Amino acid sequence: MARGLPKRKPIPGVKNIIVVASGKGGVGKSTTAVNLALGIVANEPHVQVGLLDADVFGPSIPRMMNLSGKPQISSDNLLVPLVNYGIKCMSIGFLVEEKAAIIWRGPMVMSAIEKLLRQVAWSPVDYLVIDMPPGTGDTQLSISQNVPISGSVIVTTPQDIALLDARRGAEMFRKVDIPVLGVVQNMSVFICPNCGHQEHIFGKDGAERMAKEINVQVLGNIPLDKSIRELSDTGQPIVIARPDSPQAEAYKSIAATIVKQLHKEKT
Ligand code: ADP
């Protein structure tokens, strides 16, 4: 651990923590986090996966995972995660009205996140996937310094501005000694469903160039695809709804690479 950093306290019963981050909002971070968590289970059905929605200002995990209602309280006074598609989920969206968190300030946000990390009956979990808030502000930094994170995944589109922000994200993780497992290039290409023509709406190969520059790997490319959006919006992530589609295969391959990379980092 780098000198001068606070000691990170593990979450009891949680073996690996993977954070999914993005330099800015709207690039598909939550969609990636959800399909990544499901991809890990699809690849290795015996593993236990948790999904924590730390995006307190715009929690989307309840909708994407088709979950609602209030968590039960366990006998040892912990919030019991809600489960769907085999994933244990926790989100501020289960605890407060959808719009309530928007007016929160720093300390309230951090105490809410602390609660979601530590006052939840996660155990046992092999991989806890954290959907981070977008950007590189104080909240992201505090999460990074609060728990031992095994690795970070940065989601970006191939567009210049998104890439600049993603680079800032990678720098933040490196400063606090968290391995950057790689970059997911989302909305990499649009394939016309009628004629099969490929259109690079947000530019081409941007993530490859950035990844080379900052010396990280591109974990995979996800196309801009109408079914990814439609299925996520109705709470049936594509890895579950169309497990054999090329899009689901892309998420599963990214999940496999991440798990492999994680174990490499540990040795
Ligand atoms: P973020 O977490 O970065 O704010 P989301 O994952 O919420 O972004 O995605 C924003 C919107 O884009 C959602 O409506 C989602 O369904 C859609 N989306 C994400 N990835 C894709 C994709 N590869 N193809 C089409 N739509 C996508």
Q: Domains plus CATH for the chain?
A: 14-266 (3.40.50.300)
Q: What is the pLDDT of residues 125-148, one digit of tens each?
A: 999 999 999 988 888 988 999 999
CB of 10 shorter than 6 A to ligand 1: no
Phi, psi (5° rounding) for residue 128? -105, 115
Give the distance, in angstroms, between the CA of residue 169 and the centroid of all CA atoms in the same chain. 13
**H-helix or E-strand containing 18?**
strand 14-21
Pocket probe mutation, ligand 1, options 140, 224, 229, max atoms within 8 Å of Cβ: 229
CB of 25 shorter than 6 A to ligand 1: yes
Distance CA 101, CA 92 (A): 8
Token readout for 240 is 């579950």
Q: Name the pairing type of β-strands 218-224 and 198-199.
A: unpaired
Nearest to 30 by CA among 48, 52, 45: 52
Please give the distance, rounded to the nearest whole angstrom, from the Cα atom of residue 177 to the centre of ligand 1: 28
Q: What is the pTM of this model?
A: 0.94
Q: What is the pLDDT of residues 155-214, one digit of tens each?
A: 999 888 778 888 899 999 999 999 999 999 999 888 887 887 888 888 788 888 888 888
CB of 232 shorter than 6 A to ligand 1: yes
